[in-house]
Amino acid sequence: MYQQIRDALRRQIADGTLSAGAQLPTEAALTAQYGVGRATVRQALGELVNEGLVVPMRPRGYFVKERRPMVFRPQAEFRKRPYSAEMDAFVTEHSADGREPRQLIEVAIVEPAPDIAKRLHLEPGELAAVRRRIRWLDGEPFNVNDSYFPLDIVRDSEIMRPEDITRGANEVLAELGYRQVRALDELYVRMPTPDEARRLELGPGTPVAYHVCTGYTADARPVRVAVSVLPGDRHVISYERQWEQPQDRAE
Amino acid sequence: MYQQIRDALRRQIADGTLSAGAQLPTEAALTAQYGVGRATVRQALGELVNEGLVVPMRPRGYFVKERRPMVFRPQAEFRKRPYSAEMDAFVTEHSADGREPRQLIEVAIVEPAPDIAKRLHLEPGELAAVRRRIRWLDGEPFNVNDSYFPLDIVRDSEIMRPEDITRGANEVLAELGYRQVRALDELYVRMPTPDEARRLELGPGTPVAYHVCTGYTADARPVRVAVSVLPGDRHVISYERQWEQPQDRAE
DNA sequence: TCGTCCGCATTGACTGGACAATGCGCTGTG
DNA sequence: CACAGCGCATTGTCCAGTCAATGCGGACGA
């Protein structure tokens, strides 16, 4: 059965017989070794690909996938205080040292998708400004981040210019009189849409985190919806908490 | 080509021609309709399955998958807390009303996996206690949650008993003199291991969030590592943040 | 009326082939 | 020595078929 082949290969990957980056036996070799048809071997390999363990490099063969996640911190933009020693160590361990960043910013005025409009309290037909950002690391697309703002509050502001805002879009919003005091984060885990897979150059077997952050002003008006798509094989999402009170935590 | 068939079906699912729960044409029907071999049709259907859009119900046919996510809040779940109106509304919208919960608890003494041991600052060979929980909703496995504690501090405590601890394991730890004041959360997104897929009854095309929470006492000792596996199709992870309070309220 | 058994439609697993596409490396040429 | 071109190993796509497993529903019998 193909499951035997699949499991044997998976075991070899897990125990290091096949280390990261190593080449697997070719389809022909496996066909001969197990005495089965090629379709059977391909099914075994296909499942490993779908698990994200293996990448086919046509026509060179199959290779064990390497995983080099970067830390993604939803918290980073809010916090000014220093992080704890643990967080520092963790970030250092997964740092981007030596990798070359690049980003592309694009600004547009759109009628947002229904779920975005709902979060911004926009009526159907009302417009929003969107800053679309694609970020790259070492020439590899890393994540996409689209931030939506109600058009009437950011019109003619710095936010509409497709350039990097060093002090952050949140600071600009604050200067415009819409300082955010609260945010609601949602995180969905799913397989990418074909469009996302293309934009992020995702191989099969790579799920994504879909992160939606809605920022509110003190009078409970939503002024920003940030949508991020994070490839699972390139990220670890991390945040820190402190207990204000002795408290339970459960999932 | 199989891509045409796949895309045509995906379009029908997206635009509602095939609604959630509806049956797709059978392999035989598609074979006839497109005049291709069965393998081609199966490849098209297989990719839709891997995207999590479609579920094969052997031998009844292929059906459009339904998605019913529950809110998962790393922030206190039992704690009555003054959540904001937005959070309340969001939780209400994705509530578990009318669903029947069940859970199974198992306690063991183990030599933890290297990554767990490292987070607990345990030397190789040192032991940990682990409380393994599987939680169900409407007979469907919902998530698994394994909490590890250094054995020497929980030995003979209530934590070693495989029963529900109403006031929470964290409170027990606090009573033992190890009150947690800080936690570091990590979230990985990946495809499930075969073991996870079996325990959680995951179909193909269902990614998981792998959530690791390490809790620290005031003197920076890690006393608890909670590992959760959350099926992507049954969860939306959500948390709330506030800007720069004296005590940053976590995410 | 109720229960049991069996047929059948459908997917799962597999065979053994065919031809196309594609990088890599070698070879031969200028 | 540099470069262009070709061969080749390998995966991608596809075909036509076989047999097994499985749940549902209808036919049949008590």
For residues A99-103, give the mean pLDDT: 77
Question: How much of chain A is helix, strand and coil, in % rounded to 5?
Answer: 30, 35, 40
CB contact under 8 A, B208 and A214: no
| Structure confidence by residue, pLDDT tens digits, A191-231 | 998 888 888 888 888 999 999 999 999 999 999 999 999 99
Residues 6 or more apart whose CB falls under 8 angstroms from that of B10 comprise A194, B48, B51, B53
- B235 touches A: beta carbon within 8 Å: yes
State the maximum Cα–Cα separation within chain A, in Å, rounded to a whole number: 72
Average pLDDT, chain B: 85
> Is the pLDDT at A34 greater than 50, yes or no?
yes
Distance of alpha carbon B90 from the chain centroid: 19
pLDDT of residue B197: 86
Q: Coil, strand, or helix at residue A134?
A: strand
Residues engaging strand D (CB under 7 angstroms): A 24, 26-28, 38-39, 42, 56, 58-62; B 1-3, 35-40, 43, 58-60
Residues 6 or more apart whose CB falls under 8 angstroms from that of A103 comprise A133, A134, A135, A136, A164
For residues A140-164, give the mean pLDDT: 91
Half-sphere exposure (Cβ direction) of B230: Cα atoms closer than 13 Å: 28
Enter the tokens of residue A87.
């967080």
> Is the pLDDT at A107 greater than 90, yes or no?
yes
Single pTM value for the model = 0.86
CA of B42: nucleotide with nearest C1': C11
> Is the pLDDT at B249 greater than 90, yes or no?
no
CB contact under 8 A, A191 and B77: no
Please state the φ and ψ torsions of residue A114, each to the nearest 5 degrees.
Answer: -55, -40
More confident residue, A95 or A237: A237
| Structure confidence by residue, pLDDT tens digits, B121-143 | 999 999 999 999 988 877 778 88
Strand D footprint nucleotides (protein C-beta < 7 Å): 9-18, 21-24
Out of A187, A235, A243, the one facing B180 most closely (by C-beta) is A243
CA dist., res. B136 & res. B100, Å (int):
8
Enter the tokens of residue A235.
């990220």
Chain B residues within 8 A of A220 when measuring between CB atoms: 84-86
Q: Which among A139, A70, A69, A66 has a CA at the least distance from the CA of A100?
A: A139
Percentage with pLDDT > 90 across chain B: 55
> Is the pLDDT at B96 greater than 70, yes or no?
no
- A8 touches B: beta carbon within 8 Å: no
Specify the range with the lowest mean pLDDT, choosing from A99-108, A127-136, A146-155: A99-108
CA dist., res. B231 & res. A169, Å (int):
34
CA dist., res. B159 & res. B162, Å (int):
8
Q: Cα(first)–Cα(last) distance of chain A, in Å?
A: 39
From the C1' of C12, which residue's alpha carbon is nearest? B58
| Structure confidence by residue, pLDDT tens digits, A36-74 | 999 999 999 999 999 999 999 888 999 999 887 888 887
Q: Count of CB atoms within 10 A of residue A227's CB?
A: 22
Q: Long-range contacts: B191-197, Cβ < 8 Å, 24+?
A: B191/A50, B191/A51, B191/A52, B191/A205, B191/A207, B192/B229, B192/B231, B193/A51, B194/A7, B194/A10, B196/B144, B196/B229
| Structure confidence by residue, pLDDT tens digits, A171-201 | 899 999 999 998 999 999 999 988 888 888 8
Do the bridges between strand A235-242 and strand A70-72 make them parallel or antiparallel, or are there none, so unpaired? parallel
- A51 touches B: beta carbon within 8 Å: yes
Please say whether the beta carbons of B81 and B105 come within 8 A. Answer: no
Please say whether the beta carbons of A127 and A148 come within 8 A. Answer: no
pLDDT of residue B116: 96
Segment 204-233 of chain A within 8 Å of chain B by CB: 204-205, 207-209, 214, 216, 220, 230, 232-233
CA-based torsion, B114, B122, B223, B136: positive or negative: positive
Q: Report residue B246's pLDDT band, with 50, 70 and 90 as the boundaries.
A: very low
